């Protein structure tokens, strides 16, 4: 848990009295605010007792695609599948300027905060793969008809990433320009009409594990969910040693087609390019990974 930072004038930290009054609308026996976590960026998480969390939107940080209402709606649609371990939505609403989502808290810690190696890490990724497959197979009619989920294709994503790289101070070491890389990858893609609602970023920040055993404990944060090809939810795990168990879990109950594999590969190229801007300290590793990936195109 990260300590609360100095709040923005438009984004005050709520008092314990206000937090508990909102939570008790849905969980009458809630007793105490135990912490405030701002590590999520767009949302502030108020931790209540040992099993509840109240998320509030942070107006000055919210992105166009981020929505607590969408998060709440998605959790409702996923709640019918016991194989999908995500928070349980307890209540969503607005009180004046406050938009909130009350949920159960996934136990454990974010995977990024613990070192997992070997079989333990592979088992977490296999379970994540199975979880993503079930999420992608959830009934889509209500999700797609809701109008809450924007559709984003690889063309738009590559265009935005190329612009971000060109506008940044990142040292680009490849002979091909970022734009040429995007053109080459997109030209190799097969046609696929498959579209589902995606988590968006099922990476180590949002994958939780039990620290004592390293076992998968759940997946959080569906506020950035969007419509796209299901293979794009695989892109955040770009290393071969991570991709293999993730795919094993994803295909455990049903195989995928060649288009899925090709789009997955394109997505990992996109992720490697994006990481050069978002994580400049890991630029060398991202560039090496990008060279390896481009050898298959």
Could you read off the pLDDT of 213-227 as tens digits, one per residue? 999 999 999 999 999
Candidate ranges 8-22, 56-70, 121-135; pick with highest mean pLDDT: 121-135
Q: Closest Cα partner for 199 from 221, 183, 178?
A: 221
3-state SS record for 224-264: CCEEECHHHHHCCCCCHHHHHHHHHHHCCCCCCCHHHHHHH
d(CA 215, CA 213): 5
Mean pLDDT of 117-136: 98
Q: State the pTM of this model.
A: 0.91
d(CA 25, CA 7): 26
Fold of 16-104: Phosphorylase Kinase; domain 1 (3.30.200)
Q: Is 93 helix (H, G, I), strand (E, B) or coil?
A: strand
Q: How confident is the model at residue 152 (pLDDT cuts 50, 70, 90)?
A: confident
What DSSP designation does 8 have? B
Could you tell me which residue, 280 or 167, shows the higher pLDDT? Answer: 167
Q: Closest Cα partner for 87 from 223, 285, 219?
A: 219
8 pLDDT higher than 70: no
Q: Do domains 16-104 and 109-294 have the same CATH topology?
A: no
1 pLDDT higher than 90: no
Q: Is 47 helix (H, G, I), strand (E, B) or coil?
A: strand
Cα separations in angstroms, 192 against 35, 183, 231:
45, 18, 11
Helix (H) or strand (E) holding 188: none
- Is-contact 37 47, C-beta < 8 A? yes
Q: How high is the mean pLDDT of the chain?
A: 92
Looking at domain 109-294, its CATH architecture is: Alpha-Beta Complex (3.90)
d(CA 46, CA 101): 10
CB neighbour list of residue 111: distance below 8 Å, 6 or more residues apart: 124, 204, 205, 207, 208, 209
Residue spans per domain, the chain: 16-104, 109-294
Q: How confident is the model at residue 7 (pLDDT cuts 50, 70, 90)?
A: low
Predicted pLDDT of residue 62: 61
Q: In the chain, what is the straight-line distance between the N-terminal and C-terminal CA atoms, in Å?
A: 42
- Is-contact 109 211, C-beta < 8 A? yes
What DSSP designation does 11 have? B
User: Tokens 């004046």 map to which residue?
Assistant: 96
Structure tokens at 71: 């998060």
Q: Is 32 exposed, middle or buried (0-12, 13-18, 19+ CB in 10 A)?
A: exposed
């Amino acid at each position: 848990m990260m300590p609360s930072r100095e709040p923005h004038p438009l984004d005050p930290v709520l008092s314990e009295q206000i937090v508990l009054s909102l939570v008790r609308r849905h969980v009458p026996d809630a007793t105490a605010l135990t912490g405030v976590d701002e590590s999520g960026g767009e949302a502030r998480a108020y931790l209540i007792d040992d099993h509840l969390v109240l998320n509030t939107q942070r107006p000055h940080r919210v992105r166009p695609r981020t929505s607590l209402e969408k998060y709440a709606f998605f959790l409702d649609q996923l709640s019918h599948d016991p194989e999908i371990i995500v928070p349980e939505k307890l209540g969503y609403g607005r009180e004046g300027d406050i938009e909130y989502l009350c949920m159960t808290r996934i136990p454990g810690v974010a995977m990024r905060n613990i070192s997992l190696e070997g079989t333990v890490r592979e088992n977490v990724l296999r379970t994540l793969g199975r979880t993503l497959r079930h999420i992608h197979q959830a009934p889509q009619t209500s999700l797609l008809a809701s109008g809450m989920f924007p559709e984003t294709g690889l063309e738009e994503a590559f265009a935005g990433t190329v612009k971000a790289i060109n506008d940044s101070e990142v040292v680009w070491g490849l002979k091909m320009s970022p734009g040429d890389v995007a053109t080459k990858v997109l030209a190799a893609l097969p046609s696929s009409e498959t579209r589902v609602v995606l988590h968006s970023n099922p990476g180590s920040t949002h994958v939780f594990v039990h620290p004592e055993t390293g076992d998968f404990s759940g997946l959080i944060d569906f506020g950035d969910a969007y419509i796209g090809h299901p293979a794009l939810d695989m892109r955040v795990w770009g290393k071969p040693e991570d991709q293999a168990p993730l795919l094993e879990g994803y295909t455990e109950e049903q195989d995928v087609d060649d288009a899925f594999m090709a789009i997955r590969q394109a997505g990992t190229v996109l992720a490697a390019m994006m990481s050069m801007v978002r994580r400049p300290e890991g630029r060398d590793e991202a560039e090496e990974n990008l060279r390896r990936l481009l050898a298959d195109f």
